[in-house]
A and B are shown apart, each in its own frame.
Chain A
């Protein structure tokens, strides 16, 4: 595992952070205030999690007046998105199982 992937894992391993990130992916840019309304934690706690997400490159922030807006940077997940690898392994495994079944069908 590379250092970058490791950092992403560490950041997203926290369920609160993961749900904040998922919310930003789903609903688009939002203010800290709006994110706090949905989270069951205080605003400073939300801000702390957002800073961690930002440090990992998973979100970007933008100031507008007194409000800070956050939005997801899902491209940051690219090192983790190895879904061709996932399906390659999946199909190899399924071919083994198919051959196994065909042998049992003989009996």
Chain B
């Protein structure tokens, strides 16, 4: 596996200008209780090298846990953490999602440009053993919906 070239990965980028100073947005991105209010419950620690988890409501067989490690912590401009999740009961360990979330705050007139890049998604045509990770919770959720609709 290791000798094969790394397949190209894809990213999700969301960018918005918000009418708030970078320092304040930084607090919302890095204070555990505040992060919990808009993102997910977590035990985030504000320092590079810290490991922490996000916990969402379990869906289907997905345990709802995302494992993270802070790799860049440069207040109030840049925050990067790894995003490894999608561990699914009864699925192979390789189905885990191995991605990175990067926040960049840039002061602009009237506020801050907030940029989030979630990178490391593998192409969909790869083996579902690897792409299944994010898909399973979604699939199981949709299956439950479908089942409910038909019940």
Total B residues in contact with A, Cβ cutoff 8 Å:
42
Please tell me if B28 contacts chain A, counting CB pairs below 8 Å.
Answer: yes
- Checking B34, B90, B127, B146 against A101 with a beta-carbon cut-off of 8 angstroms, the contacting residue is B34
What is the chain B residue whose CB lies nearest that of A22?
Answer: B90
Chain B residues with CB under 8 Å of A98's CB are 18, 25, 28, 38-39, 114
Chain B residues with CB under 8 Å of A19's CB are 90
What is the chain B residue whose CB lies nearest that of A75?
Answer: B128
Please tell me if A25 contacts chain B, counting CB pairs below 8 Å.
Answer: yes
Q: Is the CB of A13 within 8 A of B146?
A: yes
Please tell me if B125 contacts chain A, counting CB pairs below 8 Å.
Answer: yes
Per the 8 Å Cβ criterion, residues 93-151 of B in contact with A are 97, 114, 116, 118, 121, 124-125, 127-129, 131-135, 137-139, 142-143, 146-147, 150
Q: Is the CB of B124 within 8 A of A78?
A: yes
CA distance in complex: A76, B116 (Å): 31
Extra contacts besides A80-B138, A83-B97, A87-B118 (14): CB < 8 Å: A9-B143, A18-B143, A22-B61, A25-B90, A75-B128, A77-B128, A78-B125, A80-B135, A83-B138, A86-B137, A94-B38, A95-B16, A97-B37, A102-B18
Chain A residues at the B interface, C-beta cutoff of 8 Å: 9, 12-13, 18-19, 22-23, 25-26, 74-78, 80-84, 86-88, 91-92, 94-95, 97-102, 105-106
